């Protein structure tokens, strides 16, 4: 029930926000963006608004939840996913506009601990993650759907430690929820993006996953076929511009 609420509540909010044609015209485009993009995407929206455009409205959630919202008919203009497969899913159903899909951001995967935990963990094949967890659980995005959790499972599997921790997970609905579990001390360790760790002062990086331990972390953006907002393509181009990419680099993202 909680997962259903997390999936459909943003859709209801978006529908409510667009109930008036006059309001829709005065608002900026509606962007569905991966949870890990919160600070950077808000900065990009502010940068676009500073140029005299209506500020884009942004709804953040796991890319999996956003893709399902789009498939359910969410009245959005732009989708920014934290991985390629969820954009593939949406594109495969004819829901993104031709030639607007571009992969433009990268990230890295890190192991985080609460700020007061001073342990550093060398992440390598067979590293003692289960021992470091003790009786606690590993906070991750849901490995069955959330990109950060999928990357985490890939990394742990390739490093040969997945079997030792798979029954000791605290799966979360998105990467920021996993981050919060560690920040609040509910979980002793978690796997998130490096940019998430930068955004949360209550955690510290305890280790960095080798880039070759998981699929490349790639963020694609595309305009949705249902979009009718005149600023949708302009904002997409702004995100891909030198100015837009510089904003994302400020928050720790790599750019392509």
**From residue 100, how far is each of 54, 131, 225, 228 by CA, in Å?**
21, 46, 10, 14
Q: How far apart are the first and last CA of the chain?
A: 39
pTM for this predicted structure: 0.89
The class of domain 109-213 in CATH terms is: alpha beta
Q: Which residue has the tokens 């600023």?
A: 231
Distance CA 75, CA 86 (A): 18
Distance CA 167, CA 186 (A): 17
Domain ranges of the chain: 2-105+218-255, 109-213
Q: Would you say the CATH fold of 109-213 matches that of 2-105+218-255?
A: yes
pLDDT at 26: 67
pLDDT at 24: 42
Multiple choice CATH, 2-105+218-255, 3.40.50.360, 3.40.50.300, 3.40.190.10, 3.40.50.720: 3.40.190.10
Low-confidence ranges of the chain (pLDDT < 70): 1-26
pLDDT at 118: 86
Q: What is the pLDDT of residues 143-197, one digit of tens each?
A: 999 999 999 999 999 999 999 999 999 999 999 999 999 999 999 999 999 999 9
The greatest distance separating any two alpha carbons of the chain, rounded to the nearest whole angstrom, comes to 59
């Amino acid at each position: 029930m909680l997962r259903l609420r997390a999936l459909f509540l943003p859709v209801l909010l978006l529908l409510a926000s667009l109930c008036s044609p006059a309001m829709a015209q005065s608002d900026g485009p509606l962007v569905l963006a991966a949870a890990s993009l919160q600070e950077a995407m808000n900065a990009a929206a502010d940068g676009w608004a500073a140029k005299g455009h209506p500020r884009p409205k942004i709804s953040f959630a796991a890319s999996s939840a956003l893709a399902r919202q789009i498939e359910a008919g969410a009245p959005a203009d732009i989708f920014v996913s934290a991985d390629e497969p969820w954009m593939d899913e949406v594109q495969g159903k004819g829901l993104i506009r031709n030639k607007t899909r571009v992969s433009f951001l990268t990230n890295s995967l890190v192991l985080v601990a609460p700020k007061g935990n001073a342990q550093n963990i060398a992440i390598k094949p067979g590293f003692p993650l289960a021992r470091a967890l003790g009786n606690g659980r590993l906070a991750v995005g849901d490995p069955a759907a959330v990109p950060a959790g999928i990357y985490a499972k890939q990394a742990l599997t390739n490093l040969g430690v997945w079997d030792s921790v798979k029954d000791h997970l605290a799966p979360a609905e998105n990467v920021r929820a996993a981050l919060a579990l560690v920040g609040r001390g509910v979980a002793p360790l978690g796997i998130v993006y490096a940019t998430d760790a930068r955004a949360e002062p209550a955690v510290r990086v305890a280790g960095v996953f080798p880039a070759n331990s998981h699929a490349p972390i790639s963020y694609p953006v595309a305009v949705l076929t249902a979009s009718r907002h005149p600023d949708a393509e302009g904002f997409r181009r702004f995100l891909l511009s030198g100015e837009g990419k510089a904003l994302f680099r400020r928050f720790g993202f790599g750019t392509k």
